[in-house]
Chain A
């Protein structure tokens, strides 16, 4: 009772312009959905990867969700180093990194007003973030900074404007770029790191934002939590890094929701556009549909064939989009909510694209196909 598949395939070729429009239109929508998915995955993966399970972050009590708002005593680092058992020791140096996190407008290439995320620290930072690798230059001393490899993208400047040798200005203080680092898959790559005392002076603050500790393998993070509870005078809270970044991920949830909502709204608009095109295309086949019914083909056979035709076009667009996504998303990073994230396309992204493509083909073709079957047969057969 079904129409041959070649009928659907050949019908695609009836109007090459419409076919091109359908394929490109669905490719764009599918690409958008895949981009939303890849970005969503990128944000979640980056935040997951940034939090190391053997790191504990000491924050000011009440500032568990924002390290920038956190203020803790500058003595906290030394007291924690002495008071928390299980801190990693590397060649006599304890993996305890006091930090100041500071967001401020930076002057780059003589142009001011680039919002930068700065982290002031000591070389001990390299002990607590073993995934940070200098790819050029060295760790900054006073009057210097080193930049994450994607900091230029976050600032919206040219990469060469943040290469070692360049000078940026923070609050009129010149800072020479002396290094560039990578920390694959983490939010650190969009930051600018400065000397702790420099940032303390520039930010005019006495306090630290946080202290990050790295524990020895097998050490219990609960010891750090116990320390924070016991030292009420320091007003600290100790959070394993994955817990802190999980809280941070909640900050990104509405942004990720907006990205999906935008993608879905555009996809819905595309469905209406596709409906319009197919109404016109199928309307020209009312007589043919009447003929097929006269021959004895039941309406479901005709609807299935029309849906097949539409699905073929939208799936061709999906393949196009998937190929483009795999190539283009590979090295693409995007700034979202103050962080820079690498697009992460995986099998789930392709699946999301496939679902979007199939939904476009199905939802876009069903109403026009059904409408094509609406006219009474004698009327359909008389249609010109």
Chain B
């Protein structure tokens, strides 16, 4: 599995300094995730789940160690190249949706496509397809303030998949939703997982983790179970 891992982390460490004190939310972590796997990362607050997700997305940089995604050493990319790599390869789903309030659902979903060499017609077709996939074809012209929390998260998922990235990272995507909306979002993620995307889901909700192919537990920056 190590050889054909889509995600490969070795000795991954993230250290912050707070005065004389060193804090390591991720500490010497090794992780392998094969392509197409739906992995759930669980752990209590402060266990390093979100930090790991940020390191995988290239949003944060490790203090030590190596992150390879699809054969690319993400931690070695320059800021500019990292932004371009992220635009092509990562779809990110946030707990609080992080939609741009001044843009409609359509325009929010269109954002990642503005970074790709696509015509307006191609962008339109892809956005409509993504919004249809999350069941929001009838809400394209709505602004985030006109949508429910569940609908906002579905728009965020459409935004994360519209450019068809090989890696989908979800940070507590159901953490701010009621049970019904959360179930709908998890069903959506499960169906995306079945279509061969590599998904890493961070959650502290065991029900949410059930939709994943594999569950790993994090505590104090280390995996409690050996990497599969």
Measuring CB to CB, which residues of chain A are less than 8 angstroms from any residue of chain B?
1-4, 6-7, 10-11, 13-14, 287-288, 291-298, 376-378, 381
Contacts and interface: CB of A to CB of B under 8 A. Distances in A.
Given A295-B159, A377-B59, 5 more contacts: A287-B98, A291-B100, A292-B100, A294-B59, A296-B83
Interface stretch (B111-119, B182-190, B193-201): B111-119
Interface footprint category on B: 20 to 34
Contact of A295 (B50, B60, B111): B111
A291 B83 contact: no
Please classify the interface of chain A as helix (H, G, I), strand (E, B), loop, or mixed, using the class held by over half of its residues: helix
Contacts of A298: 80, 83-84
Could you tell me the dominant secondary structure of chain B's interface residues? helix
Given A297-B83, A298-B80, A376-B60, A292 B103 contact: no
Contacts of A291: 94, 98, 100
Given A11-B102, A295-B112, A296-B84, A6 B59 contact: no
Nearest to B110: A4
A10 B59 CA distance: 27
Contacts of B57: 294
Interface of B: 50-51, 54, 57, 59-60, 80, 83-84, 86-88, 92, 94, 98, 100-103, 107, 111-112, 114-115, 159
B114 A377 contact: no
Nearest to A300: B80
Contacts of A377: 54, 59-60
Nearest to B82: A296
Contacts of A287: 98
A6 B111 CA distance: 12
30 contacts: A2-B114, A4-B107, A6-B103, A7-B100, A7-B102, A7-B107, A13-B102, A14-B101, A14-B102, A287-B98, A288-B100, A288-B101, A291-B94, A291-B98, A291-B100, A292-B100, A293-B83, A294-B57, A294-B59, A295-B87, A296-B112, A297-B111, A297-B115, A298-B80, A376-B60, A378-B50, A378-B51, A378-B54, A378-B60, A381-B94
